[in-house]
Every structure is written in C-alpha cells, then in structure tokens.
Amino acid sequence: MSFLAYLIANFAALSVAAFASRVGGRRLMLALVVLGFAVGSLNIMIEAYAFGVTGPGQTVRAMATQLPVFLVLGPAAAWLSDRFGSRDGPPLAPRITSLRLLGVILAYMGLYMAAGLLAYPHVEAFYADKVMPPFDRLLLLQALRALIFAVAALPLLRLSPRYGPVVLGLAFSVIGGIAPLLQDNPFMPPHIRSIHLVEVGISNFLFGVAVALLLRPAPAPKIAPVRSTD
C-alpha cells in the first residue's frame, strides 16, 4: 500500500510538471525522467549514504530499483499531457551564471540548516549511533546536492512551464521528500519518516521556488508589428 502511495504521489507531481510545460514530446519525456531520478533517487541516496543510513551496496541497489520507476512514470506523464494538454511556446534557455548558481547553493544551505535545526530535537535519538560527516564536509555535500537539484531542473525549465516556481516547488517537495518517505523501509521507523516528511516537504518546496526564480529563462523578445508604409 505504501509503495502504491509512492507511485501515485510521484506520478501526480510529474503530471503537474508535464501539463504545465509549454513544450512536449521527447524533450518533455527526458526532462521528467531526469527530474524524477535525480531528485527522487540520486540526491536522496547520496545523503542517506553520507549520514550512514545506508551502506554502499544498499545505496546502489536502491537507485537501481528506483530508476525503472521514473523511466515508466516520466514518459507516461509526458504522453498523457501531450494527448490532453496544450503547447504554446518554444523552448528557452535558462539563465545560468556563477552568481545565480551561488544563489542556488546559498538558498539550499540556508533552508536545509533551518529545517534541520527545527527537526533535529525530534530525531536526535535516532541519529545518535550514526556516523555523521564533519561540518565542513556536510557543507560541501549540501552544495553538491544543491547543484544536482539545479541540473535536474534545467531540462524542465527549458520547456518554460507555466507557473514555473510553484511547479518546480511541488516537484522538489513531492518527488524529493514526500513520496519517498511514504514508503515503509528498513532504514527509518515511521515516526522518523513523518518528521522528515514535514521537514523536507516544506524546505524542498521553498527551494524549488527559489531555483525556478533564479534560473528561469528570460522572456522571449516581443516582435514589434510591421507597419505598412502605404
């Protein structure tokens, strides 16, 4: 039952992104698969391994199990939106500069630390026997994860989704936080998962909004109408 909830939540988030996209077809399919796997598997398992929740073999097996999920759900959501949605714009290039990427990293670190400080008193006992990375390595880890989030969002942002900040916020929140924590797993008891679900669900939504605002493509230039000289 929990796996079904995981599938439904992921498919719903990917479908929202698909129907919001102004461009469909193979570009959209690829964008959804990249977004789903990078946010819903790779980025999560990197942190799980770094915090000692999973070992190397468990981490690789988990990602190998999750990849087929997004290889099915991504194209399914894209196909559904191609058939019943609307397309009204060309792909546009996101604005990527060193300053904007620094803003992405700082936004993620700030939200991550704030959410973690609020949640930590409630999960401290669970992590007491886990080997935590030193603070400097923790910062580097979160900087890497922030960039993975950003790279995962780029293919979707190129498709100029309507209500981009809200759409990306929902994708990061559901795919990268809520859906994975709906599943029963041998690594976290239910009460710990519920705390992280609220923590990550909120912080990831706010981060997705920030990424979309920082990297969204510049508006397409408007072409002035040609006036007759007659």
Amino acid at 29: M
Query: 223 pLDDT exceeds 60?
Result: no
Query: 228 pLDDT exceeds 60?
Result: no
Per-residue pLDDT averaged across 185-196, rounded? 86
How far is CA 126 from each of CA 59, 120, 147, 191, 215, rounded to the nearest angstrom?
A: 19, 10, 28, 10, 37
Q: Is 224 helix (H, G, I), strand (E, B) or coil?
A: coil
Q: Where residue 1 falls among pLDDT bands split at 50, 70, 90? A: low
| Cβ within 8 Å of residue 191, ≥6 positions away | none
Q: Where residue 130 falls among pLDDT bands split at 50, 70, 90? A: confident
Q: Which two tokens stand for residue 176?
A: 């990268």
d(CA 187, CA 52): 10
Q: Where residue 129 falls among pLDDT bands split at 50, 70, 90? A: confident
Q: What is the pTM of this model?
A: 0.90
Q: Where residue 128 falls among pLDDT bands split at 50, 70, 90? A: confident
Q: How far is CA 139 from the centre of its chain?
A: 19
Per-residue pLDDT averaged across 223-228, rounded? 55
Per-residue pLDDT averaged across 138-152, rounded? 95
Q: Would you state the pLDDT for residue 183?
A: 86
Per-residue pLDDT averaged across 2-14, rounded? 95
Q: Where residue 37 falls among pLDDT bands split at 50, 70, 90? A: very high
Q: Where residue 227 falls among pLDDT bands split at 50, 70, 90? A: low
Q: Would you state the pLDDT for residue 188?
A: 83
Q: What is the DSSP letter of 49?
A: H
Amino acid at 42: L
